[in-house]
Structure 1
C-alpha cells in the first residue's frame, strides 16, 4: 500500500488553515452571528388543532398573514403547535396569529398561550454557552496533557479551536440562524474532533516508542496512514446520518445538522493536518514520549 506523504504539504495547508480561521474571525466581526429567538427574545404563541396539520401549510398561512420569519414546531402531540416570532409581544398578537391560522385550515384551532420571551434569558444563554465552550477546551487540554504529553494537548486544543472558529465563521458568512441547537452541535463537534485527534495521537505515541528508524515527520506520516481508514469510515458513516437528519429531520434541526456536517468535515481535516502539524512545530521527538527510567534501588551495606 502506498504511503501518503501528509506532512509534505503541511506548510501549505497550515497557511490555508490560518487563512480560514482569520477569515472566520473577520466574518464574525463584520457580519456577526444571526442569533435566533432563543437568544434575542420575542413572542411565543401556542395553539391546538382539532386534527394534525402539515407544518408547511401552517408556515404558508403565517407567511401570507405577514409573519414570513415565524418558527413553527410541534410540542407534546402532532396537534399542538408552537409559533415563535422575533418581534415584540402585544396584547392582540395571539388573536392575530390565531386568525391567520384559522384562515388557512378547515380544522378548529384554539389558543393555548401567548407570551413574551425575554432577551435577558438569551443574554445569559450566550454567556453560559461561551463559558461552556472555553471550559470544554480547558478540560480537553488537561486531559490530553495527562494522558499523552503537553505538546499533544496544545495540538488538540489548537485543532478544536480551529474547528469551532470555522463552524462559527460559516454560520456568520452565510447568515444562518444561530440558536440553542447550533450551540449544542458545536459542543458535539468538540467531542467528535477530540475523539478523532486522540485516536491519531495514540498511534503517534505508539509509533514513536516502537519505530527505531525515521525522523519525527516520517513517524507522524506513518501514523496518519495507519489511522486513515478508520478516520474516513467514521466520518463517512457520521455524515450519512447527518444528511438524513438535514433532509428528513425537519426545519427545527436544520441548523444542528448543518453545524455538525461542517464540523465533521473540518474535524477530520484538523485531526490530520492541524494537530499533527502543531506537534512538528513544537519539535516533538522520541525523547518526549519515552517512559521515565526507574531508578535502581541500592541496598544499604551493613
Structure 2
C-alpha cells in the first residue's frame, strides 16, 4: 500500500479564495516590513562585529563546558563551534566568537585574558593559536554584501523566468520570492532569533527552493496552455496545480522531515539556519500555489504558445513521444 498525500485525481479550486489568500499575504508582508523597522533584527557577530578566538586542545572539545565557563563573564552573544578537519582526525579545535562590546571596536585585551583564563580552568591543555577581530566597518560591509546577494539572486530569477517563459510568469515568480524572503525576515524580527551570515545562506536557499516549486507549476501551465487553447486561464491554472500537487507535497514533506530532525538533534550551532529553512519550505510551497499562480491569473498570459497546430485538443510533444 503506497502512501498518498493527495488524491490521485484531485480537482480543487485554488482560486476560489484568491482575494482572501492574497489579502492575508499582503498584510503579512506589510507587517513584516513594519516589524523590521520597529523591532529590528537580532544581528549576530557577523553583522555587529566582535572577536574570534581559536583554541587547540589535547582532549576532545566540550562545548557545554566552554559555554558554562564563559557565562559568568557576561560577554553577550557568544558562539562556540567545534572545528573538524578531515585531514587531521586527532585535532581538537574550537572557534569562539564574542560580540563587540558597547562603545568598543572589539573585545578588550583584559576581556580576552579573562576568557582565556576561564577556558583554561576547564582544560589546562588549551592553547590559543589565533585571535582575530571584526570591526564595525567590516561588519557593515558584510550587511551591504548580504543585501546585494539577495537582490542579485532575485533579479537573476526575474531575468531567467522572463527568458524561459513570459514576463507575466516572471512577475508572478519574483512576487512569490519577495513574499517568502520578507515573511522570513518578519519571523526573525518577531522571535528575535540571531541573524547572521548563515541565515543569509538560508534565505538564498529558500529563494532556490521556492523557485524550483514555482517553475514546476509554470512548466505544466505552459504545456496545458499549448494543449487547451480555448480553456479559460483559471481552469488551466487549476488543472496544472492539481497535476503537480502530489509532487509538490511529497517534496515539501520529505524535506521537512529531514529539517525537523536537524532542528531537534542538530544542536544550537545550526538551529537558526534550520529554522529559517523550515519556515522557508512552508511559505515557499504556499507561495508557489497561492501567490505566483494568482499573480499570473491577474496579469493574464498569451495563448499562442506553439505553432504546432490549431487543434485545441492536439497532444503535446511529450505525449506524442510517449
TM-score norm. by structure 1 comes to 0.91
The aligned counterpart of 1:6 is 14
* Aligned-residue offset at 1:65: 3.5
Residue 286 in structure 1 maps to residue 303 in structure 2: yes
Structure 1 position 50 matched with structure 2 position 58:
yes
Equivalences for 1:105-124 in 2 at 5 Å?
105=122, 107-124=124-141
What is aligned with 1:296? Answer: none
1:213 CA drift (Å): 5.2
Q: Does structure 2 conserve the Cα–Cα contact (< 8 Å) formed by 1:216 and 1:285?
A: no
Of residues 223, 242, 252, the one that matches 2:240 is 223
Structure 1, 261-270 or 77-86: larger mean CA deviation? 77-86
May I ask how many residue pairs the two structures share in their alignment? 291
Stretch moving more, 256-265 or 61-70 = 61-70
Q: CA deviation at 1:277?
A: 0.2
Contact 2:36 2:185 in 1 (8 A): yes
* Distance in 2 (alpha carbons) for counterparts of 1:19 and 1:106: 53
2:42–2:193 Cα contact (<8 Å) kept: yes
What corresponds to 1:173 in structure 2? 190
Corresponding residue SS for 2:54 = strand
Matches within 5 A, 1:87-236: 87=101, 88-103=106-121, 105=122, 107-212=124-229, 214-236=231-253
Q: Secondary structure at the match of 2:16?
A: helix
Distance 1:261 1:291, change over 3 A: farther
Structure 1 residues 68, 130: closer, same or farther in 2, change over 3 A?
closer
What is the aligned-residue RMSD (CA, Å)? 1.8
Farther off after superposition, 208-217 or 54-63: 208-217
Instruction: Please give the alpha-carbon distance, in whole angstroms, between the structure 1 residues aligned to 2:296 and 2:67.
Output: 51
Report the CA distance between 1:268 and its aligned residue: 0.2
Question: What is residue 28 of structure 1 aligned with on the other side?
Answer: 36
CA contact (8 A) 1:160 1:193 kept: yes
TM-score w.r.t. the length of structure 2 is 0.85
Q: Give, in angstroms, the shift of residue 31 of structure 1.
A: 1.0
